[in-house]
Amino acid sequence: MKCPTCKKTRQQFESTEFLPFCSDRCRLADFGKWLDGDYKVSRPLRMEDEVLMEEIPIEQDIPEEGIQYE
């Protein structure tokens, strides 16, 4: 096993508390990479979530449709 951030081998780890990272510093460095947007630029998650949430109430209204307009 190696630290994903600094590539130290397991034997060089400061502690086992932050596995798979060697230290709290490396763990936070990797977490910061996600927050900075390295991984989220390629895909617009917000748009997809909104479409899914709008579909649910529309389907639930269908049984009442005929009654309302006659």
Give me the residues that bind Zn ion (CB under 5 A), please: 3, 5-6, 22, 26
How far is 62 from 68, CA to CA, in rounded Å? Answer: 11
CB of 58 to Zn ion, least distance (A): 49
Closest approach of Zn ion to the CB of residue 7, in Å: 7
What is the C-alpha to C-alpha distance for residues 33 and 26, in angstroms, rounded to an integer? 11
Pick the closer one to Zn ion by CB: 1 or 38: 1
* CB nearer Zn ion, residue 5 or residue 46: 5
